[in-house]
Amino acid sequence: MSTAHFRNKRLPYIFGGLLLVVIATVTFFFLKHPPLPPIPDNPSYLNISLSVHERVKNLLSYMTLDEKIGQMALVEKNSIRTIDDVSHYGLGGILSGFGGKPEDNTPSGWKGMIDAFVSESSTSRLGIPILYGVDANHGHSNVPGATIFPHFIGLGASSDTKLVEAIANATREELQATGVNWSYSPTYDMPEDIRWGRVYETFSDDPDLVSKLGAAYITGLQENLAHPRNIAILATPKHYIGGGSMLWNTSSNENFKIDQGTTPGSEQKLRTIYLPPFQKAVDAGALSIMVGLNSWNDTKLAADPYLITDVLKGELGFKGFVVSDWYGVYEIPGGNYRAAVTAINAGVDMVMLPFDYKGFIKDVRRAVQKGDISEERIDDATRRILVAKFSLGLFDGDGAREVPDISVLGSKEHRAFARRAVAESLVLLKNKNDVLPIRKDTTIRVAGSAADNIGKQSGAWTVEWQGIDGNWLPGATSILSGIKEIAGKDARVEFEEHAQFSIDTPKADIGIAVVGESPYAEGWGDNSKPSLSEDDLTTIKNLQKVSRAIVVVLVTGRPLIITDEIDSWDAVVVAWLPGSEGTGVADVLFGKKLFTGTLPLPWPSHIGQLPIATTGKTNDKSDVLFPRYFGLGY
């Protein structure tokens, strides 16, 4: 038999086999990629005259499981592998974790970077725009050239709701000008322990003040003057819940002491102290809330269905979405798959993913296929995220938003406004013999590590997460240059950082020591005894030798232990972390403006008093150095 004949006989088998392979491949392909729900030419989710509810319902009906899971992913921009992933996975949001800057780190560089991500998102099948989020903790403070407002603790000292609303409104203009539509602020944590590295991010330890100022901030940030139907910038009260009440030495992070620690939770404290501000935030229109990195008793917040689903979404009636904080979800024990399942089932709707978004998407898809997460839960999470997106007017183009010009960053108006905020945030703790206000026809010696350092007076979350050093922020003014400007021609102002003035010259009428903390963020600022450094204390002593009276200006994110020193100082002013407009400090020192600020939290005399309860009761039951709301005037 010829070989050709043999081949012919095998041919049908070969063809049959090939056919089977083709059929199997096609079947597998369709199983893996079911036909996409078709979209009509003019889907009603794009119809601006319909309600948010109707539009969300319509859009959801076209979405595949993968598209829904994509919406639940919030990815740190530095970890995005290629920009195509934004549309390919239909990502819900991108964030610039602090310092997540564009190569061209200028206002227009930021705008260019964000616009590119937004336009990429609009090329996805359903064209769902991304949320772009930043931490606008004290203005659009990632961006060199933006107005840097006082950190929240200073705004707490002003206790001025109108001022806070207006600051938030100015911040929203600067954010919108660069394309940002989401801010992870304001902070609702309430510090009971000044050793915590995030005290300055908070307004106060008083739930009433936090409720008032927080709601004012949300209103200012979300206000859309051009299109009142839409909100302007999505605000995010954080961190839900019990942030600031963690116990010392309980941090789950080996580098920290109290940040990311354990809040001893009780139902009574939950209802009387922690929940009321969040209820007000919900009432003020908050549509996203961030869960904290702390634990409530033994449970990580992101894993707590009672607090997130039953209490926040159920009892408080929160209709927006819950976003997790940084790597928080993956700190839930049990490995990545289990952690994602636990958090989503607990009620987390959008997961912040600083590193691996592809793994997250795969895990959640598998969890739904296996029945570990229900489709209803995925629909609910997606619905909540879309409600926020439609409420922002994101589907309706720029026509639905007021987009200020990029020149609004650091504008004269905003800086004037920040300067006013600085003046209102100052707290006068002591004023022996009325050394303040300073007369103009006088001799003044200025010294101190924070006198001529805009980085230091701005604190962390300024351009970099841990802050910056020196005077290179465009348009900003140091406290020293403010003093020189306001003191005027008739005064003689000398500056020497360490106060090494010649002791052979006559004493100055007044010495101003501007001293305090160097920038720190989060757990890196946990400190077993917040106090002045040896260098600062030496500077003050040097200055005392060459001045008839001494004013100590504290540039600090929290009360410092000054019990042993304060008696030898004539006047003490708490300037907190004033930001880019140092002149606001001089306005009050020279009496151009009056002292109106009061302490937004108690000022302890020693560490044994910590923690201090909201009622003002100290741990060792002794009296604090100054109680909450203390503040002298002229």
| Interface characters, 85-114, with ligand BGC (x: CB under 6 A) | ------------xx----------------
Q: Which is nearer to ligand BGC, 291 or 408 (CB)?
A: 291
By CB under 6 A, the residues from 266 to 325 that bind ligand BGC are 293, 325
Backbone dihedral angles phi then psi of residue 430, each to the nearest 5 degrees: -155, 140
Which one among 110, 149, 184, 196 touches ligand BGC, defined by CB under 6 A? 184
Q: What SS3 class is residue 535?
A: helix
Nearest-approach distance from CB 441 to ligand BGC, in angstroms = 48
Which phi-psi region, left, alpha or beta, contains residue 229 (left: φ > 0; alpha: ψ -120 to 50)?
alpha
Count residues binding ligand BGC (CB under 6 A).
Answer: 9
| Interface characters, 500-539, with ligand BGC (x: CB under 6 A) | ----------------------x-----------------
By CB under 6 A, the residues from 587 to 626 that bind ligand BGC are none
Q: Which two tokens stand for residue 43?
A: 């889907």
Indicate whether 197 belongs to the interface with ligand BGC (CB under 6 A): no
Q: Which is nearer to ligand BGC, 326 or 629 (CB)?
A: 326
Q: Which is nearer to ligand BGC, 293 or 612 (CB)?
A: 293
Which residues, other chains included, contact 40 with Cβ-Cβ below 8 Å and sequence gap of 6+? none
Active-site position among 67, 522, 581, 587:
522
Which one among 135, 206, 517, 536 touches ligand BGC, defined by CB under 6 A? 135
Active-site position among 174, 205, 304, 325:
325
Give the integer Cα–Cα distance in Å for 139 and 156: 15
Indicate whether 242 belongs to the interface with ligand BGC (CB under 6 A): no
Give the integer Cα–Cα distance in Å for 71 and 324: 14
Indicate whether 238 belongs to the interface with ligand BGC (CB under 6 A): yes
Nearest-approach distance from CB 238 to ligand BGC, in angstroms = 6
Q: Which is nearer to ligand BGC, 238 or 419 (CB)?
A: 238
Nearest-approach distance from CB 436 to ligand BGC, in angstroms = 36
The answer to whether 512 and 480 are in contact (CB under 8 A) is no
Nearest-approach distance from CB 201 to ligand BGC, in angstroms = 8
By CB under 6 A, the residues from 355 to 374 that bind ligand BGC are none
Give the integer Cα–Cα distance in Å for 235 and 419: 24
Nearest-approach distance from CB 374 to ligand BGC, in angstroms = 29
Indicate whether 331 belongs to the interface with ligand BGC (CB under 6 A): no
Q: What is the dihedral of CA 13, 15, 16, 22, to 10 degrees?
A: 150
Give the integer Cα–Cα distance in Å for 537 and 65: 62
Residue 413 a catalytic site member? no
Nearest-approach distance from CB 592 to ligand BGC, in angstroms = 36
Q: What SS3 class is residue 93?
A: strand
Indicate whether 326 belongs to the interface with ligand BGC (CB under 6 A): yes
Is residue 343 packed enough to be buried (19+ CB in 10 Å), middle (13-18) or exposed (0-12)? buried
Backbone dihedral angles phi then psi of residue 251, each to the nearest 5 degrees: -60, 140
Residue 522 a catalytic site member? yes
Interhelix angle 375-391/52-62, rounded to 10 degrees, is 130
- DSSP code of 313? I
**421 sits in which H/E element:** helix 412-425
Give the integer Cα–Cα distance in Å for 470 and 449: 10
Nearest-approach distance from CB 77 to ligand BGC, in angstroms = 11
Strand 550-555 to 321-323 pairing: unpaired
Q: Which is nearer to ligand BGC, 325 or 424 (CB)?
A: 325
Q: What is the dihedral of CA 194, 199, 202, 208, to 10 degrees?
A: 0
Residue at token pair 């499981």 = 65
Q: Which is nearer to ligand BGC, 234 or 483 (CB)?
A: 234
Q: Which is nearer to ligand BGC, 45 or 98 (CB)?
A: 98
- CB closest to ligand BGC, residue no: 184
Give the integer Cα–Cα distance in Å for 518 and 197: 12
Nearest-approach distance from CB 355 to ligand BGC, in angstroms = 13
The answer to whether 274 and 318 are in contact (CB under 8 A) is no
* Catalytic sites, residue numbers: 325, 522
Binding footprint of ligand BGC on the chain (CB under 6 A) = 97-98, 135, 184, 238, 293, 325-326, 522
